[in-house]
Every structure is written in structure tokens, then in C-alpha cells.
A and B are shown apart, each in its own frame.
Chain A
Amino acid sequence: MSSLLTPQILLELLLGGISLGGIYALMALALSLALATTHILNVAHGSFMVLGAAASTLLIKYLGLSPVPSLVILVAGFALVGWVFELVCVRPLQGRAPDRILIGSILITFGFALAFEAGLGFYWAKLVDPQPTFSLTLTMPRLTLWGVSLSGTRLVILAFVCLAVLVFHLFLTKTPVGKMARAIAQDYEGALILGVNPRLVSVTIFTVGLLATALSGLFFILATPLGPHDGLRLTLVAMTVIVIGGVGSLPGALLGGIVLGITDVFTAFVFGAVWSPVTYVLVFFVVLLVRPQGLVGIRQG
């Protein structure tokens, strides 16, 4: 340990950990809602965060668009991509036997993630930058609170997370489609009897979820750069959050995300950044060992 843990550094680390964890929570929430309502595990989930990072870097950094119009273009584009993804990769699986859905979804989405990563890395290196990294900088003044100065960028990320989580919460509790999604996650057949349309739920959950994930990619790279091959790693992070917090649970996702985010920044501070990826998998396995029955709150199969 080279530097001492002063209150200033401690607060900085906590803020960093919570804003990072908030993004993880948001991403995991979208993945687990899709899993709970459609039983489809989207292994390409993290790739959509990379897509968000790549598209926003391209628009803002390389094409020089100002943030507001690019945000409009990105939101529309991501919603369209989410809709098409549901149509091509998710819709054909519906109607297969439950165990076939799972294997099929892993094959299709894993394949999609590989093709996407390879294609993006290859073309970005060829057309834009030989060393593909996606990052954005936001010039924000530091905020001084009770004698402690905090990074403005981190606060922006945190504000985005709070807003997105609030929107998700309102979507699930107040809108008809959100209520249908919760019903279908609790009892599939029962919801069908009551006239819930699973296709409508599936297409809405994937469009909204992937839009939120891609947008969280934009905010993620304000603090930490991403590369084209980070998608599968991010999916794994989302899975870990779900293992900690349970499928389809908003508070659980927040808890899991923040635990991981704080573990990440403190590991990086104490042992160096190369050890952060190791802690994710270790947390994943430790949670599995501590909870003998596996994953609390998860219906499997």
C-alpha cells in the first residue's frame, strides 16, 4: 500500500464504488427482468453496454456532435436495436420446451456476443482507431461538501443511476406493461389465463432493458474506459449481481451492484487494478459457498 487511507480518499473511493456499483445494478436489473419474464439468459447483455459506449464515443468524440442531439439519436437507435434483437434472437425461442429455451438462448446470444465483439473490434481498429478504447470526458467542476471535494463526473453518473432506477421502478409499478411483466415473472401460466400477452411483455422488456443498458454504457465510460472485448466480462458481472441479489428484484440488484462496486475500487486501491477482475469471480464463488441452497429467490428451470 503506497498511499494512506485519509477520510478524503475514503470518501472518493466510496463515491467511486457506489457510482460504479449503481451502473452494475442498472445493467443487472435489465438482465434479470428479461430472465424472470422470458426465461431467456441474454449472454450478449454486456455487449449492449459496449455498444452504448462505442456509439456514444463515435458520435461525441469522433463526429463532434454536441451531447443533446447525440443523446436523442442514441436513445432512438438503442431502442431500435433492442427491438430488432428481440425480434431476431429472442422471438424464435419462444414456444420451445423450457430446457431447450435456456440452451438455445445461450447458443444464440453467446454467438451474437462473439460476432459483435469480433466485428466491432475489427472495424473500429480498421476505420477509427487502431487501438480501440471507448471513453468520454466530461468537464465538471469538483463539488466541495463539508470540506471534502468530490468528483463532479462521479456525481453525474450517480444522478443518472438514481434517475434510471426511479424510471424503472415507476415502469414496473405504474404502467400496464410493467404490471404485466411482474405478473408473468411471478406466475407464467396464471398471467396467461388473465390475458397477459407474453410477446408484448417480452418485446417491451427487451427494448427498455437494452436501451437502459446501452445508455449506462455511455455513463460508464465517463469514469472508466471500455474495450470491444469487455462485453462477456460485463455479462458475468451482471450475473454475479443477480446471484447476490436475486432475479427480478430491484433492491437486490442495487445491493449486489454496490457490494461489487465497492469491492472493485477497494481491491484496486489496495492491490492494484489488475486484481479487480479476480474479485468479481471470487465474490461469485464465495456467495455460492456461503449460501448452501445456491441462489436465494431464484426459480430455476
Chain B
Amino acid sequence: MARVPGVFRGRRLLAVGVVLIGLVVLPRFLTRDLVTALFFAFALITVALNYDLLGGFLGYLNLGQGTFFGGGAYAVFILTKHMPGVAAAGPLALIGLVVVAVAIIALFAAIVAYPLFRLKGAYFAMATFGLFLLVRQLILNLERLTGGAFGIYLPPGYYVDQRLAYWLMLGVVTLSVAVNYLISQTRLGVGLHAIRESEPAAAAIGIDLFRHKQTALVISVIPSALAGCLFGLHFGYVDLESVLGVDKTLLPVIMAMLGGTGLVLGPIVGGVLIRVIDVSLKNYLTLPIPALGVYGLILMVIGLFMPEGILAGLTRRRRVAPRA
């Protein structure tokens, strides 16, 4: 697997450990705003890494990864609001509810895999975006269950406090990195790679195309749903724009594309860049167009000038150098 750099070997393993410990103790030295900014970044990078399992490893452009992020958040809030006995069990019941919510989203992904993977290329991409719009519209329409346009608020006392939320989200993003790395090292990853290169050839050597794609989708939605749950539980409410806004499903794609897809590090590099751009847009720069428009322009620039992302360009140069 030439496309996966050995991040977790030898000295690099040490480096990863140092970075992780640094991130664990970091909140001590930062203001609340910055901790929240990092929390936000971890959430989006998680979704970007999950997106890349399909987008980069399998070559299927999933524009609807945000569906599972927002779906997870809504699932846990609906359970908290409507499940009998939650109030009696107290805030600790949230752990069980998060597990149930993530399981529901994983099941949902396993089911939608059947129609979705009848499609390829552009049709797959648009169908995943269609799924995202469908879920948004359903949440808007089913007011009794979801609160419609107003969203759902968490009862006081159920909020996950900032430090804890930060550490948990750090855990989720680490999990996503580990999942992507481990998948690249297993039969499943090799199968996905084979499918990306040529579906007929992969089928000819006995790879079950649909099972591989379905498994990849289900694995990819679990951390997204977890991140969505945590995101909602930390802020204490969910509504359409906060967890299912168009930015939630597109920013991860932009992050992965900017950094370089199919590389474990790609979405992280892209994610940090996008967050830096985002924070500076909100606090330091006043541009004559809204943030979503700026992301649109970034997407255009990536498509026009660096379709393989920043890291892909760098690693290719590095890979060629020793041979010369």
C-alpha cells in the first residue's frame, strides 16, 4: 500500500504519542473559546476521516457523510426526549442512549447501502447528497418527534461539560485515525483499493463488491455518529443548522480533498487548514461574501488547480526522490 505513509511505525509512533499527550493536556493552557474551536475542529476532522474511507480508499464520493453526523445527534436527542424512564435514570443514562443512537445510525447506513451502491460516480455522489436533503426535510416535517425548525433542547444537568467533551472528541478523532490506518493494513483495505482501481477485476478475483462497500460505509458512519452525539450533548441543543447544515456535510469533503484523499494524514492537514481559514474568516477578516461562499471558492480552486490535494503532491515528490 504505497499510498499509506507509515505514520505509526518506529519514531513516528513516538511522535504520534507526544502529539496525543500534548493534545490531552492542552486545554489547561487555552481559553474556553480556543478549546471550543479545537473541539469543533476534531468533530469536523472526524467526519473528514470517515468520509475518506469511501472517498479516498474506495473512490466513491460521499457528499452525505454529514447525514450520519447530524443523524447521530438527532437520534440521541430524540431518545433522551421520548424514551420513558430517562429522567429517572439521570444523566448517566446518556451513555446507554449514545450506544443505542450510534447503533441506529449504523443500521440505517447498512440499509441505505442497498440503493446507494447500485450507483457509481456522479450518480452516487448526487444520491448521497439527496439522502442528506431527504433527512433534513424529514426532520423538518416530523415536528412532533424532532421539534421541527425549533430543534430539541437537552434538560439542564445533562450537558457534557467542556473539558470532558474535548477529551471525548479527541478520543473519537483518534479512533477515526486508527480505524483508517488499520483498515489500510487489512484485507478489507486491500479489497477496497482493488475495487477503486477496477471493479470488474476485483469481482473477477472473488471480492464481494457489495459487502466490501457496505462494510466500509457502516464502519465509516460509526465515528461520525459518535461525534454528532457528543457535539449535540456538549452544546445542549440540536437544530437543523447546528448539526445538519450544508457546511457539516461539505466541509469534511473539502478538508479531505484539500489535504489529499486516500492518505491517513490528508484529512487532518486539510482540516487544520480549513479551521484556520474559518477562524480567521470569523474573527479577523471581513470579506464581502459569506463563509459558505468562501468554501465554494476554495472547492473550485482545488478542483481547478490541485485535484489531488496538497499531500499527494508532496508525497509523490518524496517518493520519486530516493530512486533518482
Contacts and interface: CB of A to CB of B under 8 A. Distances in A.
A292 interface: yes
B93 interface: no
A103 interface: yes
Interface of A: 35, 41, 43, 89, 92, 96, 99-100, 102-108, 110-119, 121-122, 232-233, 235-236, 239-240, 243, 274-275, 277-278, 280-282, 284-285, 288-289, 292-295, 298, 300-301
Contacts of B303: 103-108, 111
B277 interface: no
Contact of A119 (B59, B122, B133, B289): B289
Mostly, the B contact residues are helix
Interface string B65-97: 000000000000000000000000000000000
Interface string B257-295: 100000000000000000000000000000001111111
B108 interface: no
B150 interface: no
24 contacts: A89-B300, A92-B304, A103-B61, A104-B304, A106-B61, A106-B122, A106-B303, A107-B302, A108-B300, A115-B294, A115-B297, A115-B300, A117-B293, A118-B293, A119-B289, A122-B289, A239-B126, A280-B130, A281-B133, A285-B115, A288-B127, A294-B123, A295-B119, A301-B120
B250 interface: yes
A35 B122 CA distance: 10
A278 B115 CA distance: 16
Contact of A277 (B133, B250, B257, B290): B133
A243 B296 contact: no
Q: Is the interface of A mostly helix, strand, loop or mixed?
A: helix
Given A281-B131, A300-B123, A301-B121, A289 B114 contact: yes
A284 B125 contact: no
Nearest to B302: A107
B120 A115 contact: no
Nearest to A100: B307
Interface stretch (B136-144, B224-232, B234-242, B310-318): B136-144
A106 B63 CA distance: 10
B103 interface: no
Given A111-B303, A277-B137, A236 B289 contact: no
Contact of B289 (A102, A115, A294): A115
B323 interface: no
- Among A104, A107, A232, A280, max chain B CB count under 10 A is at A107
B28 interface: no
B290 to A, nearest CB: 5
Contacts of B63: 110
A294 B257 contact: no
Nearest to A110: B299
Most buried by B among A43, A111, A121, A239: A111
Contacts of B126: 41, 43, 235-236, 239
B118 to A, nearest CB: 5
